[in-house]
């Protein structure tokens, strides 16, 4: 049997490499492009029970200016989400679905329900079922395959998950596994939160967006016809398993969607990461494995830090929604109109999004009126006041506030939308 999660934790915590630093350790004066993974620095954290070497760490700056291949294959990193008795690890690496013990140590009970969709099932369902059951005859796996797409993130589709679990007579000692992108993770997580008032669940995100954002932090839910994510729960998984190999099958559009979230972390709280992205965007777009793995790791670390401080979004966590009410460019434009950031930051936001081939304007059909109606039901409205995440100060600083000049919001909406 594999080492238990707790012994893995103990091993890492007692190692002398000090890999679990609360903040990234930066080498002063090192060039920005140097923030690349350096797995060879962490052999002290290797896991005897597994064929893979695994590094429980934030990240370590390196003076090597170019991307380096990992010393061996199947090197994984562990990022901890620190939430007291709801803490859990995020495993990041290539080929992690080929390591059954990683998943199996987080399964509770004998029965597993894999929730996935029609796009992902043909690609990875068999592999996941194998990983769950290999050398583990006590566990049986069932699956429910939902239609693919945001428009199915609704109550009717969610009911299919409950139907399957109830008809299969699942009890409280079971595990739900989300295999797919953000929609699947959000729906499976909410189903796990609500089925019998809460069963265990595991996230296996297969899109970059889900890997760097939606699978981490416990926000789950579905859409209401009048607004996104209006029904849901805060519910934490047992673990998040990110096999970066799954990105090889990801459409370009989906990759870009994930990169938008990666850019977000730089903008709201991590200027060095933003600078790294400015230099490494071509590698990210070319799906260079080390660049992707590093971007995922640094994104998860940023998210984990924020969530650990504010799990239920009473304040700080709301900053993670930059770009979710309106896009990064509109947030930058409005921040600039308010005089909160200088020209260069606004220009760099536009530039990096263009470089990432991301849109820098809403769809043609969007009008100011439509936009206002949509943001009126935004979850960040409190007592009728829309609070926004805006950039303020030097690169990597933002605020979450309802205290802004309404004219600046109007001007931004008019600058980007049709009347």
| 221 touching its own copies, by CB under 8 A | yes
The encoded tokens of residue 304 equal 């984990």
Nearer to its own copies, 25 or 172 (CB): 172
100 neighbors 251 (Cβ within 8 angstroms): no
Nearest Cα neighbor of 350 from 337, 342, 359, 341 is 359
Among 42-50, 80-88, 362-370, 377-385, which window interacts with its own copies (CB under 8 A)? Answer: 377-385
Nearer to its own copies, 22 or 137 (CB): 137
The encoded tokens of residue 378 equal 């935004």
Place of tokens 């401080």: 309
- d(CA 192, CA 121) in angstroms, rounded, equals 19
Helix or strand run (H / E) with residue 415: helix 406-416
Q: Which of 54, 55, 153, 219 binds its own copies (CB under 8 A)?
A: 219
Indicate if the alpha-carbon torsion angle 209, 214, 215, 216 is positive or negative. positive
Q: Which of 26, 226, 286, 361 binds its own copies (CB under 8 A)?
A: 226
Among 50-58, 206-214, 221-229, 287-295, which window interacts with its own copies (CB under 8 A)? Answer: 221-229
Q: Which of 382, 403, 406, 419 binds its own copies (CB under 8 A)?
A: 382
317 neighbors 310 (Cβ within 8 angstroms): yes
Burial 245-255 (b: 16+ CB within 10 A, else e): bbbeebeeebb
Among 219-227, 247-255, 338-346, 403-411, which window interacts with its own copies (CB under 8 A)? Answer: 219-227
| 323 touching its own copies, by CB under 8 A | no
Phi, psi angles (nearest 5°) of residue 381: -70, 135
Among 284-292, 294-302, 382-390, 398-406, which window interacts with its own copies (CB under 8 A)? Answer: 382-390
Coil vs helix vs strand at 316: helix
Contact set for its own copies, span 161-200 (CB under 8 A): 162-163, 166-167, 169, 171-173, 190, 193-198
Q: How far is the CB of 206 from its own copies (least distance, A)?
A: 24
| 354 touching its own copies, by CB under 8 A | no
Pattern 89-128, binding to its own copies, x per CB under 8 A? Answer: --------------------xx------------------
How many other CB atoms are found less than 10 A from the CB of residue 212? 27
| 224 touching its own copies, by CB under 8 A | yes
| 406 touching its own copies, by CB under 8 A | no
Q: How far is the CB of 84 from its own copies (least distance, A)?
A: 12
Indicate if the alpha-carbon torsion angle 34, 344, 287, 125 is positive or negative. positive
Cα-Cα-Cα-Cα torsion 83, 239, 276, 326, nearest 10 degrees, comes to -70
358 neighbors 256 (Cβ within 8 angstroms): yes
| 140 touching its own copies, by CB under 8 A | no
Q: By the criterion CB under 8 A, which residues form the site for its own copies?
A: 109-110, 155, 159, 162-163, 166-167, 169, 171-173, 190, 193-198, 219, 221, 224, 226-227, 230-234, 312, 376-377, 379, 381-384
């Amino acid at each position: 049997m594999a080492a238990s999660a707790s012994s893995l934790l103990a091993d890492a915590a007692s190692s002398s490499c000090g890999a679990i630093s609360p903040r990234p350790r930066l080498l002063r004066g090192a060039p920005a492009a140097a923030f690349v993974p350096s797995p060879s620095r962490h052999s002290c954290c290797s896991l005897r029970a597994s064929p893979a070497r695994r590094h429980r760490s934030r990240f370590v700056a390196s003076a090597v200016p170019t991307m380096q291949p990992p010393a061996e294959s199947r090197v994984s990193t562990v990022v901890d989400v620190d939430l007291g008795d709801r803490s859990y690890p995020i495993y990041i690496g290539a080929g992690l679905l080929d390591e059954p013990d990683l998943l199996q140590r987080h399964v509770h009970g004998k029965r597993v329900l894999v929730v996935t969709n029609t796009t992902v099932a043909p690609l990875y369902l068999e592999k996941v079922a194998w990983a769950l059951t290999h050398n583990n005859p006590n566990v049986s796996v069932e699956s429910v395959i939902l239609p693919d797409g945001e428009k199915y993130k609704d109550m009717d589709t969610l009911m299919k998950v409950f139907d399957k679990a109830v008809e299969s007579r699942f009890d409280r000692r079971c595990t739900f596994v989300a295999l797919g992108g953000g929609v699947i993770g959000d729906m499976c997580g909410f189903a796990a939160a609500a089925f019998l008032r809460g069963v265990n669940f595991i996230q296996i995100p297969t899109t970059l967006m889900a890997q760097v954002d939606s699978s981490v932090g416990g926000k789950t839910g579905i859409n209401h016809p009048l607004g996104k994510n209006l029904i849901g729960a805060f519910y934490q998984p047992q673990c998040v398993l990110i096999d970066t190999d799954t990105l090889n099958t990801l459409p370009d559009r989906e990759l870009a969607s994930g990169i938008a979230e990666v850019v977000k972390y730089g903008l709201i709280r991590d200027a060095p990461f933003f600078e790294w992205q400015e230099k490494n965007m071509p590698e990210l777009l070319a799906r260079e494995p080390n660049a992707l793995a590093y971007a995922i790791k640094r994104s998860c670390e940023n998210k984990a830090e924020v969530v650990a401080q504010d799990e239920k979004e009473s304040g700080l966590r709301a900053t993670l929604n930059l770009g979710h009410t309106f896009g990064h460019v509109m947030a930058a434009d409005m921040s600039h109109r308010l005089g909160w950031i200088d020209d260069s930051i606004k220009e760099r936001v536009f530039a990096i999004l263009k470089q990432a081939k991301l849109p820098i304007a809403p769809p043609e059909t969007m009008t100011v009126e439509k936009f206002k109606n949509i943001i009126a039901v935004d979850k960040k409205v409190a007592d009728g006041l829309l609070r926004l995440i805006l950039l303020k100060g030097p690169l990597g600083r933002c605020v979450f506030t309802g205290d802004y000049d309404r004219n600046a919001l109007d001007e931004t909406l008019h600058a980007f939308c049709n009347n």
